[in-house]
Structure 1
């Protein structure tokens, strides 16, 4: 069977000296970016998905690849089950004193920090900088005089107010805050929902780059002051303007080796999540202007296609991983579990070249897939693609099932399940209901084999169509078209799973491969 997965499903690099936005059509939300020498590093939110807090690397700000995760698991038992919308929020990354530093908050547990000297080789165990609720979006800042600070924001859902930026003194080693801090900017008048602050210093000014106006419709604000505690002047430096890029904001500023200035931010695209854009940036009268200032007013608009950054060289196309042959002894960096992972969920060594997922009970009374922690997920990486998964089903008892899912607030999955009438292939739709969640069997038929290929075609607008095949050649449509939906602060996910609805089982499914390719690709037989 022809495999069309070698060609990226999306790339920002146009390979002619220009790039297009988004540079990443993946849900790397709330991005922050730094340069260290000739290398660029980016971090993003990951919420309840583990391992969490992806670290991406690039040589040219256009081509990126995930290289590690900061958080293997969150050290709280509630994250052993899906805590949708909670977990890792809005990280920041800095390079200081010969080390990489990442700070982030979980909205209910507080502010955390980790460091490393080499982000390829792993991160130190988390330091709990401040135990608190409702403090979010922390960013560290080390001043020229040796003093260290942390700027942060607040989540109204946890603390009762928002639209306030806050500054605390911090120990230079980043392990604790030295005071309760003070409010330094109130955005309630002109910059409602100001959050995600990133602090810098240039030409004697302290700058805070901060998004405001809300995820879907906001703008990028920049504050400046000669005193770190303010008062701060404010200016909108980028907005949607006449473009189709809604809510262009929340990200980081970086300067290239050649002295160019760039800004990375997100755009909320609903079921696709918050995808990543790259904007040129210039300084005018000690104010940044981001994007293209079409009206010559100091407020830019996002660019669609633009000349690639001058980084002193040309580098090959590079994109995040998607497809997986499961031929290594550890999971690829495209994969994240739906909660804190457990070793008993899977094996890459029981059968060489296969991922074995065990049909364990999903640890919730409802038995619904939505509540299962042991779903293995990855981000959408393009507006259109086809994903296929080949599995061999080895059930041990009634209720064992395995399959392929598109997971959001609503979800749909194809599964092969052992029932009292034998193995069935079914298409199931899940959605919120008055009592939490419900599932509806759209279609069910007798399985002709225990080896099956499940496929989902994702078309523009995140319209999904499921099908299955036993030979890799002839596919049978299943269920109906499904409009993928966003989850809690995240885009929809592609996932694979094995589970038992009722109890732990000794059954399992061996996944031979997952192929993510251009629309219409069929993987391998």
Structure 2
């Protein structure tokens, strides 16, 4: 029976999902690009309701993002469980490349990275053992490891394989999927390289995101194709041996490019429930907003051994609870831009951000903490306690896509200033200390406002922020402070941060 779900299950900037199940528990990771901590890890019991339990890369020793450009950094992780241990592979673009980290508890701590040989991106792992062999029947057959299949030449049970995509011709979008054996205990690759796939047709663009599964004694290769925008799709191929040759499904793509309320669907990873049903996590985009690529869930059935994906639905009747953060501790949902070598924040008395020389618009790690915008419409606000003593000191509210695309409502010695990068969009006279700062987001329309501690909100300016439209990442909202290249010993205190998502039936006003 096909299943569809009110989506997304992980809203906001949560692209490239990968999932595994251990007993009744599901664990999922997504890409994080130039943001730290890297590779957020989530837990669920039903694949619909997820809770963040940590990050795989949460120590500076694990992740060097110095100088990382926008939408670079950590691409497309894969998480798998084998013999009591979690293995997570990913690629640090513009860095050493592929790596693996391991943990016995997915909440952490995770190991230091072990770097792996090979070119490309979108790595994955496949453990060819009883846990990796499944049946398409609606019972538990296959989970006990029944059926050896046709391994040949020592390709049978007990071996593990690393796959990735690599570029052959970037201008044409030509890539191929390659594979080598992975040694789990040593965390390294060994043996010859095998090229498995170069697309569902001769002119296929961007075959990527490979995942291998053993199902009904055959090997199923699932990949994305068509690029990560409107042409994004999922294709499938099958082989009797893990090294191939792989034959594509006649109906490829098995998930065609999407139109409607959710587009750009692809980059799928399969998982089987304890009841024997099949699901896929995948990314998708809600057009007309800045929230970027999100994690969606689809039901999967089987026809002649090939996966059939249910439509990706979009629910609009489930309101999201408001967030009020008084910063007793810093929750796992806050991120920094690149790797902070030392903490620039303290909690307990609200959030205090140190004024440091680093600033947005450069390739450093400024005093910035953000969290994903999770719906196209939202209201974000904070109470800022800060009296700048010099013209170069400022702090306030941030709406950030990346270094090059952001909006800042900050307090300065001249009053309140709304900036897009170096450009001043609006000013207001000096407000009393403390001051409340807010932004009302309706799609790509951003209305910034301010108020005294107990006063009424006053709109400062409305910006049509089409420049915040993302490609790989998504818009995030948060808090910022800088001393603009000068040394400073001061900090800015944010008493609280509120984020609420109006129900679609609500009035569009504040």
TM-score over 0.5 for the alignment? yes
- The answer for the alignment partner of 2:105 in structure 1 is 118
> Would the aligned equivalents of 1:18 and 1:305 in 2 still touch at CA under 8 Å?
no
- The answer for the alignment partner of 1:400 in structure 2 is 393
Aligned counterparts, 1:317-466, within 5 A? 323-328=324-329, 331-348=330-347, 352-362=348-358, 368=361, 373-408=366-401, 409-418=404-413, 423-430=414-421, 439-459=422-442, 461-466=443-448
Aligned equivalents of 1:443, 1:390: Cα separation in 2: 20
- The answer for the alignment partner of 1:164 in structure 2 is 176
Residue 139, structure 1, aligned to residue 111, structure 2: no
Change (3 A) 1:44 1:519: same
Report the 3-state secondary structure (helix = DSSP H, G, I; strand = E; otherwise coil) of the residue aligned with 1:163: strand
Residue 228, structure 1, aligned to residue 229, structure 2: no
- The answer for the alignment partner of 2:188 in structure 1 is 176
Moved more, 503-512 or 238-247: 238-247
> Would the aligned equivalents of 2:66 and 2:364 in 1 still touch at CA under 8 Å?
no
Q: How far 1:218 sits from its partner (Å)?
A: 1.2
Q: Deviations over 1:289-340 (max 9, x none)?
A: 111xxxxxxxxx434469xxxxxxxxxx998995421012xx1111000110
* Number of equivalences: 463
Aligned equivalents of 1:91, 1:321: Cα separation in 2: 30
Q: Deviations over 1:55-89 (max 9, x none)?
A: 01111111111111001256599623453222110
Q: How far 1:115 sits from its partner (Å)?
A: 1.2
Residue 252, structure 1, aligned to residue 269, structure 2: yes
Q: How far 1:274 sits from its partner (Å)?
A: 0.5
Report the 3-state secondary structure (helix = DSSP H, G, I; strand = E; otherwise coil) of the residue aligned with 1:490: coil
Q: Which runs of 5+ in 2 are unaligned?
A: 130-156
Equivalent residue in structure 2 for 1:475, among 451, 457, 477: 457
Change (3 A) 1:160 1:180: farther
Aligned equivalents of 2:168, 2:34: Cα separation in 1: 20
- The answer for the alignment partner of 1:148 in structure 2 is 160
Aligned equivalents of 1:480, 1:515: Cα separation in 2: 20
Change (3 A) 1:290 1:487: closer
> Would the aligned equivalents of 1:400 and 1:507 in 2 still touch at CA under 8 Å?
no
> Would the aligned equivalents of 2:322 and 2:499 in 1 still touch at CA under 8 Å?
no
Aligned equivalents of 1:339, 1:137: Cα separation in 2: 20
Q: Deviations over 1:409-439 (max 9, x none)?
A: 4221100013xxxx42111112xxxxxxxx2
Residue 302, structure 1, aligned to residue 312, structure 2: yes
Aligned equivalents of 2:385, 2:219: Cα separation in 1: 58
TM-score normalised per structure 1: 0.82
Equivalent residue in structure 2 for 1:203, among 186, 191, 216: 216
Change (3 A) 1:370 1:391: farther
TM-score normalised per structure 2: 0.84
Aligned equivalents of 2:227, 2:4: Cα separation in 1: 30
Change (3 A) 1:255 1:319: farther
Change (3 A) 1:417 1:424: same
Q: How far 1:166 sits from its partner (Å)?
A: 0.5
Q: Which runs of 5+ in 1 are unaligned?
A: 1-16, 292-300, 307-316, 431-438
Change (3 A) 1:492 1:303: closer
- The answer for the alignment partner of 1:13 in structure 2 is none
Moved more, 373-382 or 171-180: 171-180
Q: How far 1:198 sits from its partner (Å)?
A: 1.1
Equivalent residue in structure 2 for 1:514, among 453, 473, 497: 497
Moved more, 78-87 or 41-50: 78-87
Q: How far 1:476 sits from its partner (Å)?
A: 1.6
- The answer for the alignment partner of 1:436 in structure 2 is none
Report the 3-state secondary structure (helix = DSSP H, G, I; strand = E; otherwise coil) of the residue aligned with 1:93: strand
> Would the aligned equivalents of 2:335 and 2:371 in 1 still touch at CA under 8 Å?
yes
- The answer for the alignment partner of 1:290 in structure 2 is 309
Change (3 A) 1:40 1:474: same
Change (3 A) 1:380 1:392: same
Residue 193, structure 1, aligned to residue 203, structure 2: no
Q: How far 1:450 sits from its partner (Å)?
A: 2.5
Aligned equivalents of 1:72, 1:444: Cα separation in 2: 38
Report the 3-state secondary structure (helix = DSSP H, G, I; strand = E; otherwise coil) of the residue aligned with 1:272: coil
Aligned counterparts, 1:80-95, within 5 A? 80-95=66-81
User: Alpha carbon RMSD of aligned pairs, Å?
Assistant: 2.8
Aligned equivalents of 2:44, 2:57: Cα separation in 1: 21
> Would the aligned equivalents of 1:107 and 1:158 in 2 still touch at CA under 8 Å?
no
Aligned equivalents of 1:127, 1:387: Cα separation in 2: 40
Q: Deviations over 1:470-490 (max 9, x none)?
A: 124411212332325145620
Moved more, 156-165 or 83-92: 156-165
Aligned equivalents of 1:472, 1:275: Cα separation in 2: 37
Aligned equivalents of 1:159, 1:180: Cα separation in 2: 28
Equivalent residue in structure 1 for 2:89, among 92, 103, 106: 103
